[in-house]
Structure 1
Amino acid sequence: MQFRDSLTLDAPRRLNDGAMAVRARAARTGVYQYAGSEVDPENKHNLRDTALVNVLRDDGTVFDEKSVRSFIGKPITDDHPAAPVTTSNWRDHARGTIMGAMRDGEYLAFDLLLTDAEAIAKVDGGKRELSNGYSSDLQFGDFTAPDGTKCQARQTSISGNHVALVDRGRAGSECAIKDGFAVCDTLPSNLFDSFTQEKPVKTILIDGLTVDMANTDTAIATVQTLIAARDAATAQVTDLTSQVATLTAESQTKDAKITTLEQQVKDAKPTPAQLREAGKALMVTADKAKSLGVTVSDEMDETAIMTATVTKHMGDAAKDWSADQIAASFAVLTKDAKPEVKPIGAPKPINDSTAAAANARAEWLADKQTAYRGQAA
């Protein structure tokens, strides 16, 4: 698509061989205004009937290296040709060459060399207005220029074709080669039409696939396929990541449970000293309960013995008491209790006779068992 531009040129210089050299300030950054019919002739974006459309041209577009290089070596023409300049018609239209390009502030400047005597004579005779020919893509949307101006479109992918000498450019007499400078307008409508009929084939490489961007349907289908594949892969990665996180959490939970159980087993395993102290405590509790007339069996632990003692003496008042309340009540009830102590019998003399020794041992054990039963009762 073609657009209107302005160029600023230094005063032309004559070389020894008669050629004319001039530096032209070409594209500049900023906001350009075009008729809606120029930027949206088919009204695809509802801009065709708009009087003026603001188009943004930013630094990234103007000074893009590929775009800048596209102008170098392109011809200077006498008027705009009816079709773009190519190798097949270059001899018919070329009157000079764009020799170089450089950044000049906010402008992109070209070095132009006119090498055709007839074209130079026309410049000397007053044909001094200029118009550069190039194609550019448009992005439609809401854009904001650095100065805050709102724009409905943005230029991208500028590709140079030629710069033309014209009798009268769209910008009028100010767009001309003068003693101090020259300004260049853009393409006339006939060239605009010819450029829209010939578009270079553009391809891009996406994930190893070459996509022909000139074929809209194919490009859209390919891109949609790639997007779907990407989304599916992203979803799969997300699902796998979630599963890994779940398994990691479960593993950590199991490790914590194992560590806790190991510690509980370690804490629950009594030492011999603890067993002895527990046995003593149980015997003391049992003796205190017996002294208050409570029957104690071998199956009862300390809590059961204390509960039986408190229940016997306190009745229903203690039926809903906690273990701490039972223990406190038991301590009060047995504060002055004195366990009954029974002798285990006098020692039996043992002689050296084996049979006598065996009999004496049996009698001694019998006496001890009798004494123990008495205490247990």
Structure 2
Amino acid sequence: MFLTDRVSVSAPRRTADGYLVADAKVARTGIQEYLGSELGRPDIPIVRVYRPPEEVFAQDAMHSYAYRPVTVEHPAQMVDADTWKAVSAGATGAEVVRDGQFVRVPLVLMDAAAIKAYESGKRELSMGYSAEIVFRDGVTPEGQPYDAVQTQLRMNHVALVKKARGGDQLRIGDGRHPGALDPRAHHKQEKSMSDIKTRTVVVDGLSVETTDAGAQAIEKLQRQLSDSQAATQRQAAEHTAAITAKDAEITKRDATIDDLKGKVLDAAAIDARVQERGDLVAAAKSIHDADYRGKSDAEVRKTAVVGKLGDAAVAGKSDDYVQARFDILVEDAKKDPVVRALGDSANRTPVAVKDNGYAASVQGLDYRTAGQKEA
């Protein structure tokens, strides 16, 4: 991963050839903040990256600072043999040393435009390098929390820039080495450090003044919060709609169940219905003997009335009228003496008739008996 780390140069001097020579701090340990988008993690606005001493001062990492090209601002890609001539404005030397928490190297600016840029206020350095980023939370020995750790640092170039990521304490003319090129260098540097462009961002109704990077982070968080709120509202609406639909479905199901319950007869009701149906059919047969199977109660009554009185008796009449005629006919059938007699004979117990006339007559015809009588 291509990263940049900004620190300040100090104690510069000009050579007889017009070159600018300096001994520069170009890296440090500790925590530096990066935008999440710089590290391939746009989901994290600001990433606190820890550079542990064992990684910063590793032998291979220290060797990679030597003989690196110096550029003005960072080129679009890593510097190599194909691009060196186009972008190089100087180089670092070989005397790479540890200076407390910093890495210090000698460097030289050989390009007149680069030297002019330095004199105009572009006086800080930014390392272009590759490193492995391990995302894990932790706390430094000094008690500072971090989100990720840098390992396997390898330097590619040093860029001359206007503002250091490492902080304004790493600047030219820090009190021990006033600028040798211009007595006013220290004053100009102080001015450039304080003349940082800021933006005002409104956060929850409050105006907050911050840098461009901070404003970008805040605006991104605000967009994410707005998107999250919109998503929450959308999910709540969908949930409410789903609950409403489910309630309607349950209500409909309950109504169906209640309707079916109303249509289900218990055993007693079934017995009563069977008795009622049997009585109706018997009453109908007392009026007119017919096959009443498969007919509704109303059809049974109508069939009996028509069978007894003819179609004209019920033509155009309502079911209530037909039922009334049926009831009258049933009552009349109960009063009919023939019907009642037939009903009574069916229920009468047979009685044996004692009559000896026939036996006596037969006996009188017996020749033996008849001769005796004649004699």
TM-score range, shorter chain: 0.3 to 0.5
Larger-gyration structure (1/2): 2
Q: How does the TM-score come out when normalised to structure 2?
A: 0.43
